[in-house]
Chains A and B, each alone.
Chain A
Amino acid sequence: MAYSSKVLSHYTNPRNVGSFAKDEAGVGTGIVGAPECGDVMKLQLKIRDDGVIEDARFKTFGCGSAIASSSYVTELVKGKKIEEALAIKNSLIVQELSLPPVKIHCSVLAEDAIKAAIADWQKRKGEKSADKKEQAA
């Protein structure tokens, strides 16, 4: 299959590959899978208390489009507020990377990974403030 040059660029030179420690403060981890092809994606976001995404890391073991989609979203979400990041639609990723129809599920995976990472961050934040309240009581 012919990949677009942007996909190739993100695939051969993926941005922000790696991980943060899962329990590091402000880190939300989203692990999602695409059961159609068996690819698994991990996206981590480092989010400030005011809800701005400071940094992002990903690890994706899968096809070129899945890697490119995750690499692309790590660049896209940096500096965004979580509300803005949550509003990112997979269609934007499809368009930007010119993904062919059979690879659309890769972009859906990236969108779902953002949502899962933010949900994890919110959950951990909630737990932390609950702990504080308990300690205060």
Chain B
Amino acid sequence: MCARCGGPLAPELDLFAALGLARRLVVEPTELERRYHDLGRRIHPDRFASSSAAVKEASLQGTALLTRAYRVLRDPMSRGLYWLELHGEKLADNNKQVPAELAALVFEVQEQLAELREAQDRSASEPLAEAIRAWRAEVQAAMEQAREELGANFASWDEGRAEAANLLPNLKATLAKIAYLRTLLRDIDRELEPPVLSG
């Protein structure tokens, strides 16, 4: 919304600005929530029901922008992808290398998943399913590590060390790693029974 008149703004803003945030990669989740809900209330179309058509339209567009900004910036992965976009970069450009260790993990787990998929008798394949559950923990740990790397990369950007520390290629590589691990986790979970939620 506009700081001067309090009215909703046109949607050609960057998504950080849409939430009144500085263009920084480290985002405090509670701060993001607070701004989203606060601004959302203030430019809500209900408040402008008796305003001019232009203001109504601006309120609708502003609300849509706000929601998009919240969704994109809330998740570190999509925030990182948006950061690439702001820098005129595409995730896949010059970024097809899969680290050898990660590739080995992907192929090992996928082979076992294929084996499990083809198993006729699910009860006899329980040891295999058990092995895959153990792999899942490993993939999850690798994912957590990649997310930590992403967090460290974000912090370095905010410290203004983009050039020196090669942060852009590093960001692309880390986001790609997360994408491979995410796909692998998805495939594992598709094959294993959905976990029983307790408590």
Interface size of B in residues (CB-CB distance below 8 Å): 23
Measured CB to CB, the nearest residue on chain A to B90 is A36
B interface, by DSSP: helix, strand, loop or mixed? helix
Query: Contact between A35 and B187 (Cβ–Cβ < 8 Å)?
Result: no
Query: Contact between A32 and B179 (Cβ–Cβ < 8 Å)?
Result: no
Query: How many inter-chain contacts with C-beta < 8 Å in the A-B complex?
Result: 56
Q: Is B106 an interface residue (CB 8 A)?
A: yes
Q: Mark A23-47, 1 if CB is under 8 A from B, else 0.
A: 0000000011111111110100000
Query: Contact between A33 and B98 (Cβ–Cβ < 8 Å)?
Result: yes
Across-interface contacts of A109 in B (CB, < 8 A): 96
Q: Is B125 an interface residue (CB 8 A)?
A: no
A35-B179 contact in complex given A40-B98, A61-B187, A105-B92, C-beta closer than 8 Å: yes
Binding site for A on B (CB under 8 A): 91-92, 95-98, 100, 103, 106-107, 110, 114, 172, 175-176, 179-184, 186-187
Across-interface contacts of B100 in A (CB, < 8 A): 31
A-B CB contact pairs (8 Å), 12 listed: A33-B96, A33-B97, A33-B103, A35-B179, A36-B92, A38-B182, A38-B183, A40-B106, A40-B107, A61-B114, A105-B92, A108-B92
Give the complex CA separation of A92 and B123 in angstroms.
45
Least CB distance, A18 to chain B, in whole angstroms: 11
Give the complex CA separation of A37 and B176 in angstroms.
9
Query: Contact between B183 and A37 (Cβ–Cβ < 8 Å)?
Result: yes
